[in-house]
């Protein structure tokens, strides 16, 4: 499907599939005859001398402007004969929907089944599943004496439970109904309201990849393996192949707020302005990118490394009880700290790999200290440089670290596909 | 995941990229002296066209160009290549030059005796590498999907009903 906002056009591809002589080209011919002159494109056939379709038949249908978008359906047929398998696959590329024209005659049953299996295989090569793509099976040639009853055909052929129609394409009966049904199935996919969220709930809920950033989210994912009541997931962003649900994002915001709050007097539920949310989402995107990159590089922080980081943080408190008090007042858990620690450990490891001559860039010379002090003397309360040397060094380190991180995340973002669904934030 | 997957397959073109694309196509026509150019996606949908194209049936041409490319890909496979990036068909007066743009699109340039296949090929190479860059940047950009107007699907259904009233 192509959606061209610049030209205000929508173009869908619908492919007629089925065994040889089942009536695919006839379907197209009937449509061609019935289309009003002004919407009709030329019908093109690439046929052999025996009048069998060689490559494909093609019929463009122009529906004109619909709600401001010029809407087109491109109808294709594939050659049915078994030996044209590779051409069939080519035509199927980019199909938004398939009409399978089946021959109802009893003696054609094996051919129908073989062709459907062929369709299944070819779809799979494009990463599509036969029971997921919009598919209509048309039981054609209902007028022939050896036509099997529909229930029987359904049982023997329609194992993927597709929608079905009946037709006598030679007289035109049922042709338009089939087309409309298939178009309808394709259009159902054009879920306009919630981009990023599926029209029907996805079969398996995809949660963000952060291993345990929010333990609650991880638990939720676990329970979802058992049949959970169907609930509609709304996503705020998609980063490469990972989606971030709104629920997860909300939790992330709250945890970041509690981690970063100036004092322990935190609100139960902090409300954020849209601007703050955007900032937090950018942070989360960085975090997800980091974890994805770590996975790619096969970087896994060990438990000890994480615990050391957590212990470093715990040193700020005189006793374990004080740390516990800090956490409980902020409604945080040790796991939240561990996640932050994991992030820091990974950053430390990746940056060594990614940023060239890191050692040199982090080296601070006497000259650096003098320059920085000179530029920011006011910040150090006018105290003589000898007295604040350590503070100056810490400030320089902080600034360099920020610059390195910015550079690093900039690199990650350049290579990533990031989609943000603003309306869901 | 089915809808997700379909959405990913959807090709979406936005105004900003489009303006750049059209500008490049215009420049190409000026430089190469070709008659017209079609930009087609690999699935056979026309993206846009420039130059003197009125006499051609562009949607059928797009479908055939995409088909021809797909077919030569099989040819390439037999030779051990992934695909051929350029194709050229010579007629008595008019000729057509096809060139791949990245992995999603094809340019089809129609030209006559006012220029040569060499010129067309040369500028087409420049053009495709520029287009590739635009596509690449566009595909990575953080975009907010502009939803189609609500009720669009229903309106299309109604239109089909109208069209095929018995």
Helix, strand and coil percent figures for chain B, each rounded to 5: 50, 20, 30
Which chain A residues contact residue B147 at CB under 8 A? 192-193, 195
Average pLDDT in the B40-51 region? Answer: 90
Domain boundaries, chain B: 11-163
Nearest to B140 among A36, A60, A416 (CB): A416
pLDDT tens per residue, range A363-405: 888 888 888 888 887 777 777 888 888 888 888 888 888 888 8
Distance CA A183, CA B108 (A): 29
pLDDT band at A232 (very low <50, low <70, confident <90, very high): low
Please answer whether residues B101 and B138 qualify as being in contact, where contact means their C-beta atoms are separated by less than 8 angstroms. no
Which chain A residues contact residue B44 at CB under 8 A? 13, 74, 76, 94
Sign of the torsion formed by the C-alpha atoms of A314, A315, A319 and A322: negative
How many helices and strands in chain B, by DSSP H and E?
A: 5, 6
Average pLDDT in the A240-258 region? Answer: 83
Inform me whether the pLDDT recorded for A62 exceeds 70. yes
CATH 3.40.50.300 assigned to domain A2-188? The reply is yes
Distance CA A97, CA A184 (A): 10
Sign of the torsion formed by the C-alpha atoms of A155, A159, A160 and A166: negative
Phi, psi angles (nearest 5°) of residue A238? -130, 125
Alpha helices, DSSP H, located in A261-302 = 274-296
Top-tier CATH class for B11-163: alpha beta
Nearest C-alpha neighbor of B149 from the set A176, A25, A191, A168:
A191
Please answer whether residues B73 and A28 qualify as being in contact, where contact means their C-beta atoms are separated by less than 8 angstroms. no
How many helices and strands in chain A, by DSSP H and E?
A: 14, 11
Q: First and final CA of chain B: distance in angstroms?
A: 38
Average pLDDT in the A281-295 region? Answer: 88
Please state, for a pLDDT cut of 70, what percent of chain A lies above it.
Answer: 88
pLDDT of residue A224: 36
Please state, for a pLDDT cut of 90, what percent of chain A lies above it.
Answer: 25
Please answer whether residues A236 and A195 qualify as being in contact, where contact means their C-beta atoms are separated by less than 8 angstroms. no
Please answer whether residues A99 and A169 qualify as being in contact, where contact means their C-beta atoms are separated by less than 8 angstroms. no
Which chain A residues contact residue B153 at CB under 8 A? 187-188, 190, 192
A141 — alpha (psi -120 to 50), left (phi > 0) or beta?
Answer: left
Q: Which carries the bigger pLDDT value, residue B161 or residue B89?
A: B89
A233 — alpha (psi -120 to 50), left (phi > 0) or beta?
Answer: beta
Q: Where are the beta strands (DSSP E) in B45-122?
A: 46-51, 86-89, 95-101, 105-111
Q: Where are the beta strands (DSSP E) in A131-248?
A: 135-140, 163-166, 235-239, 242-245
Q: How many CA atoms lie within 13 A of A51 on its CB side?
A: 5
CA-based nearest distance A170→chain B, Å: 17
Distance CA A335, CA A260 (A): 16
Domain boundaries, chain A: 2-188, 215-424
Nearest to A74 among B15, B48, B63 (CB): B63
Nearest C-alpha neighbor of A95 from the set A179, A162, A15, A190:
A15
Which chain B residues contact residue A2 at CB under 8 A? 10-13, 41, 43, 45, 47
pLDDT of residue A415: 84
Please answer whether residues A27 and A101 qualify as being in contact, where contact means their C-beta atoms are separated by less than 8 angstroms. yes
Please answer whether residues A87 and A78 qualify as being in contact, where contact means their C-beta atoms are separated by less than 8 angstroms. yes
Nearest C-alpha neighbor of A187 from the set B165, B91, B115, B156:
B156
Phi, psi angles (nearest 5°) of residue B137? -65, -45
pLDDT of residue A48: 59
Which chain B residues contact residue A71 at CB under 8 A? 156, 159
Average pLDDT in the B109-132 region? Answer: 95
CATH 3.30.1310.10 assigned to domain A215-424? The reply is no
Contacting B residues, span 15-74, partner chain A, CB-CB under 8 Å: 15, 17-19, 41-48, 57, 59-60, 63-64, 67, 70-71, 73-74
Element (H, E) at A363: none
pLDDT tens per residue, range A134-171: 999 999 999 999 999 999 999 999 999 899 999 999 99
């Amino acid at each position: 499907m192509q959606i061209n906002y610049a030209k205000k056009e929508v173009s869908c591809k619908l492919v007629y599939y089925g065994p040889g002589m089942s009536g695919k080209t006839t379907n197209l011919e009937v449509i061609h005859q019935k289309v009003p002159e002004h919407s009709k494109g030329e019908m093109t056939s690439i046929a052999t001398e025996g009048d069998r379709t060689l490559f494909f038949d093609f019929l463009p249908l122009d529906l004109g402007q619909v709600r401001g978008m010029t809407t087109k359906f491109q109808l294709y047929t594939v050659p049915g004969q078994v030996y044209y398998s590779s051409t069939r696959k080519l035509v199927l590329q980019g199909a938004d929907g398939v009409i399978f024209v089946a021959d109802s005659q009893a003696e054609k049953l094996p051919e129908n089944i073989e062709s459907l299996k062929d369709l299944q295989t070819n779809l799979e090569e494009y990463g599509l599943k036969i029971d997921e793509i919009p598919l209509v099976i048309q039981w054609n040639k209902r007028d022939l004496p050896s036509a099997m009853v529909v229930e029987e055909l359904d049982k023997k052929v329609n194992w993927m439970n597709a929608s079905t129609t009946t037709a006598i394409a030679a007289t035109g009966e049922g042709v338009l109904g089939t087309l409309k049904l298939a178009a309808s199935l394709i259009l159902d996919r054009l879920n306009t309201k919630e981009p990023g969220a599926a029209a029907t709930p996805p079969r398996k809920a995809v949660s963000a990849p952060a291993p345990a950033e929010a333990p609650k989210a991880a638990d939720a994912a676990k329970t979802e393996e058992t049949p959970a009541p169907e609930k509609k997931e709304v996503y705020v962003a998609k980063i490469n192949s990972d989606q971030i649900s709104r629920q997860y994002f909300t939790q992330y915001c709250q945890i970041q707020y509690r981690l970063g709050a100036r004092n322990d007097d935190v609100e139960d539920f902090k409300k954020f302005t849209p601007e703050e949310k955007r900032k937090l989402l950018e942070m989360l995107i960085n975090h997800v990118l980091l974890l994805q990159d770590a996975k790619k590089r096969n970087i896994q922080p060990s438990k000890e490394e994480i615990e050391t980081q957590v212990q470093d943080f715990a040193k700020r408190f005189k006793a374990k009880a004080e740390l516990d008090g800090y956490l409980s007042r902020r409604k945080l858990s040790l796991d939240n700290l561990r996640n932050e620690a994991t992030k820091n450990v990974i950053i430390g490891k990746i940056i060594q790999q990614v940023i060239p001559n890191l050692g040199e860039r982090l080296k601070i010379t006497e000259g650096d200290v003098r320059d920085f002090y000179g530029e920011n003397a006011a910040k150090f309360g006018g105290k003589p440089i000898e007295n604040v040397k350590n503070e100056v060094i810490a400030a320089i380190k902080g600034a360099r670290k920020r610059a390195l991180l910015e550079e690093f995340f900039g690199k990650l973002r350049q290579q990533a596909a990031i989609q943000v669904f603003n309306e869901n934030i | 995941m089915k809808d997700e997957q379909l959405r990913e397959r959807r090709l979406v073109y936005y105004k900003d990229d489009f303006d750049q694309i059209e500008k490049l196509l215009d420049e190409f026509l000026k430089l190469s002296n070709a008659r017209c150019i079609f930009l087609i996606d690999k699935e056979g949908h026309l993206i846009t066209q420039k130059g003197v194209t009125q006499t051609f049936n562009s949607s059928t041409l797009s479908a055939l160009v995409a088909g021809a490319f797909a077919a030569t890909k099989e040819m390439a496979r037999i030779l051990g290549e992934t695909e051929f990036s350029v194709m050229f068909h010579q007629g008595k007066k008019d000729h057509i030059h096809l060139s791949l743009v990245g992995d999603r699109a094809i340019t089809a340039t129609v030209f006559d005796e006012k220029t040569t296949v060499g010129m067309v090929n040369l500028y087409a190479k420049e053009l495709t590498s520029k287009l590739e860059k635009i596509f690449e940047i566009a595909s990575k950009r953080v975009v907010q999907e502009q939803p189609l107007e609500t009720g669009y699907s229903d309106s299309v259904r109604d239109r089909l009903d109208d069209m095929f009233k018995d």
